[in-house]
Homo-oligomer: A and B are copies of this chain.
Amino acid sequence: MNKINIGLIGCGTVGAGVIKILKNQNKLFSKKFQTEFKIKKVCDKNSAIAKRMKLSKSLFTTKIDDILNDKNIDVVIELIGGTHPAKEIVLQALRSKKHVITANKAVIAKYGSELFKEALKQKKNIYFESSVGAGVPIINAITEGLAGNTFKSLYGIINGTSNFILSEMTHSLCTFADALSKAQKNGYAESNPTLDVNGMDAAHKLSILVRLAVDKIIDVKNIHVEGITQISHDDIKYAKDLGLVIKPLAIAKTANNNLELRVHPTLIDEDHPLASVNGVFNAIFLETDPMGDILLYGQGAGQLAAASGVVSDLVNLATKGENIACARMKNIAYEDRSIKLKQIDQIETKFYIRLLVTDKPGVLSKISGILGKHDISIDSVNQKKQKKTSSVPLVMLTHLAKEKKLRIALEEIAKLSLVKSKPVAIRMENL
């Protein structure tokens, strides 16, 4: 029987979930994996936790060094989140010859290269399944399950809060504010939901996935990110009329060593599997070569979902042994330097455009003339009927258009006296 001694740093909801799962699965794991997973020490700065979770005095500490300096601890589970002191803890754990498991997307996205390098030097392993999609085995699928494939593109619903809000706005026809407040009431959104709704959370996760799938190391600052706060009811409704839904997507595409990365609300066909991923569920759609299209779908948030990913990491660490650490870290740290990041200006997508225009003859000709001048051709137009107003919404779908040209065209259109409000443009993907 193997024995894995664990030091758990940060004992919030996920940490408590890990303790709970290990307690419940203890017997099964002993039999199936011939391994005893023993939590040797739990560290949290909040000493009230020990009492609340009924942890014995010898098990609990508020001092991180009690774990990092304990030679009997084989693996450190870092669950404090954020970049500092998480980074320093992970580095010190590796230098103290301990494997590391973390659910911390920020530290992996920002300091991954440094941490993987240290792990390689120390011949130790870092596992981080729960950093993206909680326990949905996305990272495992990319690095192992689909190891024989290259990844042409990746479309991820990887922020549960945004997806919950847009799903609510779509299905209950409520406002953004109402949907957010419902998300907070249900525990699906932080009291400060900024990083979720502005897309930065998804951008961090995307950078992790891109490193693994496309072998490109990305600074999140270089990802074009738009949040979901600008999405209006009207757009959701008009999209529906067109057989489309708006989803908060993180997108990566590669072609000829060019990589395009972006996080923004995106229109997709309502029949696509991603369209039916609602609520806090996460999903990732991969276009792979040679395997073709793959979808993974599951609960991307919640105490036990995240804890499940951490425990799966533990089992993999235990069953695969120490010897694979170097090969795995080399594989994960590998970078293909020939891949260049495309600027958002150069990107081509289809667009949904909504304008509020004066209801007069000649309007459409003027607008389509400006679009045409910038090489943007229109796929469909729909002028919405509106009672008692002199202005009407005009909804258009374009064919593939260059982002930069579209922006210039819309600026020109916005200046027309017959256009009554700021034009809205939402990118569309043909999946």
Contacts and interface: CB of A to CB of B under 8 A. Distances in A.
B148 A315 contact: yes
Contacts of A215: 32
Interface string A228-269: 000000000000000000000000000000000000000000
A319 interface: yes
A298 interface: yes
Contacts of A304: 290-292
Contact of A147 (B31, B315, B328): B315
Contacts of A321: 323-324, 327
A83 interface: no
A145 B149 contact: no
A111 interface: no
Interface residues of A, number: 61
A162 to B, nearest CB: 19
Interface string A305-322: 101111111111001110
A295 interface: yes
Given A32-B331, A319-B328, 14 more contacts: A21-B290, A31-B336, A135-B291, A137-B145, A144-B145, A146-B312, A148-B313, A291-B305, A292-B302, A293-B299, A319-B327, A319-B331, A321-B327, A324-B324
Nearest to A142: B137
5 contacts: A32-B334, A135-B291, A148-B310, A290-B305, A291-B299
A105 to B, nearest CB: 18
B298 A294 contact: yes
Which of A149, A276, A305, A321 counts the most B-chain CB atoms under 10 A from its CB? A149
Interface string A128-172: 010000111100110011111110000000000000000000000
B292 A149 contact: no
Among A147, A273, A310, A312, max chain B CB count under 10 A is at A147
Quickly give the copy total for this chain.
2
A296 interface: yes
A321 B136 CA distance: 25
A6 B290 CA distance: 20
A292 B319 CA distance: 23
Contacts of A135: 146, 148-149, 290-291
A284 B222 CA distance: 36
Contacts of A334: 31-32
B144 A316 contact: yes
Contacts of A298: 291-295
A319 B311 contact: no
Given A32-B334, A307-B290, A319 B147 contact: yes
Contact of A324 (B291, B312, B320): B320
A263 to B, nearest CB: 23
Interface in A18-43: 21, 25, 28, 31-34
A297 B299 contact: no
Nearest to A35: B327
Nearest to A292: B299
A17 interface: yes
A330 interface: yes
A412 interface: no
A307 B148 CA distance: 9
Nearest to A281: B293
Contact of A320 (B136, B149, B299, B320): B320
The 5 A-B pairs with the shortest beta carbon distances in the complex, nearest first, are A137-B145, A148-B311, A290-B304, A140-B145, A147-B315
